[in-house]
Structure 1
Amino acid sequence: MVEKLKKYFSYGPKAIFVFVLIMLSVTVFIFNTRKTITVSIDNKKIEITTFRDTYRKALTANNIIVGPKDKASPSLDSKIKDKTKIVVKRAVDLTVKVDGKNLKVKSAERNVANMLKAEKIALKGLDRVYPSKNSEIKEGMKVAITRVESKVITEDKPISYSTVVNKDDGIEEGKKVVKQEGQDGKKSVSTRVIYENGKEVSRKIIKEIVTKKPTDKIVALGTLGVYRPSRGGDSIQYNKVLNMRATAYTSDYASTGKNPGDYDFGITATGTVARRSNSGYSSVAVDPRIIPLGTKLYIEGYGYAIAEDTGGAIKGNRIDLFFSSKSEVYNWGVRQVNVYILK
């Protein structure tokens, strides 16, 4: 019995040493694996102590759940270092209106552009986003995407012909004669059409090319006057009508200052013999500035005449009609008549 006790106590210091060594190792292990970290969740900070090696395990052990759309920095599977910080941003609910649908989305992305990329909602070149892509994501936000499409449509269109009206003194006044039929031309028109969410919102012509020129329609408009005597007879065509003060004269001395036998007695200013013709042209005196000599006329109540003579008193809008006798001169007197300048 004594021998056994001696033997036991001889190993005592060794056992104590081993025990102390084990406890020291455990203490070092605990000291090395024990870590204090700060968890920031939506700007609220929590300090926790953990023996876990990753942030995911540490948060789970402390009943801090990170949702699938929440974002953590550094990543949840990163190795923990003592006195470090992990930032968790909770995903918020928002609505994205796109392609005729209202999508319910949870996102913790920084802005609209990142959210759309994360949700695999692709934008094309002209598409518009409201609010802007740089807008910060907020709870309850409504994001609308307008699909914008631009198309260039090319089509043939007619070019209407023009109507050209030319005056023609060879056609009775008021009548129209088509000299040339018109034909429409043709042009190629390129139009840019803008669609928003499938609906046309604008169109603008960007190019026109004339492929066929139009042919003008040419119409002759008659300016030739036609006078129809009230007592019947042939119609009289004229270019112009003047309302004039008409007097009368004969070849006697009272009218011409000459007597039979005198030089140029009965001779007009154009060298013709003054005459009154019921079936042809009679001689009349005019102011050549108004009616040129040699002009053929028709005078209401008198008949056909030709401007062959002049007179000192015949100035301006006056005309002097030749008669064969004094009695006819007296009967005529002074009248306002229409004088037709014949074609």
Structure 2
Amino acid sequence: MEFIAKNKKKIIAFIVIAILAVLTGMTCFANMNKRVDISYDTNSGANGSVQTKSVTGKTQLTVRDLLTEEGYTVDENQYSYSVDLDAKVRNVSEVNIKQKVSGSIEVDGQKIVFTSSSGTVGDVLNENNIALGTADLVTPATAAALTTDVSNIKVTRVTTKDETRTESIAFATQEVQNADLAKGSSEVTTLGENGVSTITDRVTYKDGNEMERVNISSEVTKEPINQVVQIGTKVTTTSEDVITETSLPFSTETKENADLDEGVNNILTKGVNGSHKLVVRVTYEDGVEVSRETISDETTNPVNEVIEVGTKKAVVEESKPSEPEPTPTPDTETPTETPEDNTGDSGNSGGNATESINPSDFDLICAIVAHEGGTSYEGAMGVISCVMNRVDSGAWGGSDAVSVLTAPGQFASYLDGYYRQYLGADIPEVRQAVKDCMENGVRSHSYTSFRSYQTSGSVNICGNWYF
């Protein structure tokens, strides 16, 4: 204290000098300049995107002030800065400016907008708390640099899952020949059942959509049961007797009789058609003919018809003048002569109905008559006489020969079509008999029915029995 008291003036003077020195030093320091390197990155990723220059600034300025003085836009929303903008220039030697990238991230069905100065795509995802699975796909890749060219980042979620399913295993059909079962028939003895296969697939999904399915295992959990079908091989044998009957027409013989007037003919022996009957047994296996066996072969010879022909010349007598017939008075009538009954006589004419023959029907009539009575004149005359007798009766289906022959339930040769074999045939005797009967009224009998076999009171004419 004694020292301070003794040197008080000196001490005060020293303090004043010291303060002045400090103030002077501070003024000098405030007016000092400093060199700062500024790097500006447009973040385009192209060559030359980084521009660097060195500037000199007063040490007491802030970095914000220095950048503004140098013409840089100061906006932390658009750019990132390597130093605090409020830091003093005296404490900074280098300032790095980088333009931020703005874009969007598509992930999990959402779109996230970002602005970032991160170095890579992966950094941006981390900034936005987007976690990636090991199989997830990122476009561009996470290691790709984040530049202003990157406006959209796509995250595709990739998941893999094992899925189990079942499939039906179709049963097979096994055919077994069975000699006890008729050929062409079949019988199921064991019903088939489908089997089951359990299949495991590894399925890959991208954003929930199936992209790939790979089979990793397959196991038969139920074996199929084959269907067993018995196939018949037994031969079915059938047989039938085929009967063929053929009419053998009789011939006509003539014998001259000098005691019989010329022009008079008598039938001495009625002609009878013969017949040939063949019975053949035909055997079939499964409907296919395999053999034929003759069971019977019978022939009945025809009986020729014998006609005596008169050759006696008639004696011509001188005719007497005829007396004039009385002229009937008004009170009298000429009696009508009753025709004589010629029933059963052969070659009768007169008193019988006649019919003009329509040329279009003539062949049909002859064909039916030929099949029913044979091709001889006598046989044909017997049938056509029966037909015309029915025409006279009017109770047999019509009033003309064609109507009677084609009436239902009468002549089998027409109803069954057998007559067709004689249509247009060369059967002159049949044609003559039909013409004589229908146009000239010649009839060999007055019966209206006939059969191929004898009945009580029936008369045989050329193989048919008339009654």
**TM-score after normalising by structure 1:** 0.55
Aligned twin of 1:206: 216
Q: Aligned pairs, how many?
A: 232
How many angstroms apart in 1 are the aligned matches of 2:87 and 2:180? 105
1:190 to 2:187 alignment: no
1:179 to 2:186 alignment: no
Aligned twin of 2:21: 21
Aligned twin of 1:133: 142
How many angstroms apart in 1 are the aligned matches of 2:240 and 2:95? 117
1:45 to 2:52 alignment: yes
Give CA deviations for 1:76-127 in whole Å, capped at 9, x if unaligned: 7989776732322221222222222333221222221122112222222222
Give CA deviations for 1:5-53 in whole Å, capped at 9, x if unaligned: xxxxx99x9799547623553267448x854322212123353525369
What is the RMSD of the two structures over their aligned residues, measured on CA atoms? Answer: 4.0
1:85 to 2:84 alignment: no
- Contact kept, 8 Å, 2:168 with 2:197, in 1: the verdict is yes
How many angstroms apart in 2 are the aligned matches of 1:91 and 1:145? 21
Aligned twin of 2:233: 223
Instruction: Look up the SS of the partner of 2:76 in the other structure.
Output: coil
- Contact kept, 8 Å, 1:99 with 1:147, in 2: the verdict is yes
Aligned twin of 2:300: none
Aligned twin of 2:119: 110
1:96 to 2:95 alignment: no
| 1:142 corresponds to which of 152, 163, 170 | 152
Aligned twin of 2:291: 300
Larger relative helix fraction: 2
- Contact kept, 8 Å, 1:107 with 1:115, in 2: the verdict is yes
Give CA deviations for 1:128-149 in whole Å, capped at 9, x if unaligned: 1122222222325222222222
- Contact kept, 8 Å, 1:171 with 1:222, in 2: the verdict is yes
How many angstroms apart in 2 are the aligned matches of 1:81 and 1:162? 95
How many angstroms apart in 1 are the aligned matches of 2:158 and 2:193? 41
- Contact kept, 8 Å, 1:227 with 1:237, in 2: the verdict is yes
Letter in 2 for 1:125: T
How many angstroms apart in 1 are the aligned matches of 2:113 and 2:93? 35
Instruction: Look up the SS of the partner of 1:179 in the other structure.
Output: strand
- Contact kept, 8 Å, 2:282 with 2:292, in 1: the verdict is no
1:116-127 to 2 correspondence within 5 Å? Answer: 116-127=125-136
Structure 1 segments unaligned to the other structure (5+ residues)? 1-9, 242-297, 304-343
How many angstroms apart in 2 are the aligned matches of 1:163 and 1:144? 56
| 2:76 corresponds to which of 54, 67, 84 | 67
Q: Which has the higher contact order (CA 8 A, sep 6+)?
A: 1
Q: Shift of the alpha carbon at 1:196? A: 1.8
Letter in 2 for 1:135: A
Q: After superposing the two structures, state which structure 1 stretch, 73-82 or 133-142, moved more.
A: 73-82
Instruction: Look up the SS of the partner of 1:214 in the other structure.
Output: coil
Larger relative strand fraction: 1
Q: Shift of the alpha carbon at 1:216? A: 1.0
Structure 1 residues 85 and 180 mapped into 2: Cα distance closer, same or farther (>3 Å)? Answer: same
Instruction: Look up the SS of the partner of 1:152 in the other structure.
Output: strand
Structure 1 residues 142 and 49 mapped into 2: Cα distance closer, same or farther (>3 Å)? Answer: same
Structure 1 residues 100 and 87 mapped into 2: Cα distance closer, same or farther (>3 Å)? Answer: same
Q: Shift of the alpha carbon at 1:168? A: 3.3
Aligned twin of 1:285: none
Q: Shift of the alpha carbon at 1:169? A: 3.6
Instruction: Look up the SS of the partner of 1:87 in the other structure.
Output: strand
Instruction: Look up the SS of the partner of 2:229 in the other structure.
Output: strand
How many angstroms apart in 2 are the aligned matches of 1:168 and 1:75? 103
How many angstroms apart in 2 are the aligned matches of 1:79 and 1:170? 116
Structure 2 segments unaligned to the other structure (5+ residues)? 1-9, 42-49, 242-280, 295-467
How many angstroms apart in 2 are the aligned matches of 1:94 and 1:122? 18
How many angstroms apart in 2 are the aligned matches of 1:226 and 1:121? 85
Q: Shift of the alpha carbon at 1:183? A: 1.5
Letter in 1 for 2:292: G
- Contact kept, 8 Å, 1:52 with 1:58, in 2: the verdict is no
Pair member with larger Rg: 2
Give CA deviations for 1:171-206 in whole Å, capped at 9, x if unaligned: 323322112111222232212222222222332322
How many angstroms apart in 1 are the aligned matches of 2:133 and 2:102? 25
How many angstroms apart in 2 are the aligned matches of 1:77 and 1:183? 87
Structure 1 residues 180 and 80 mapped into 2: Cα distance closer, same or farther (>3 Å)? Answer: farther
Q: Shift of the alpha carbon at 1:160? A: 2.3
Structure 1 residues 14 and 204 mapped into 2: Cα distance closer, same or farther (>3 Å)? Answer: closer
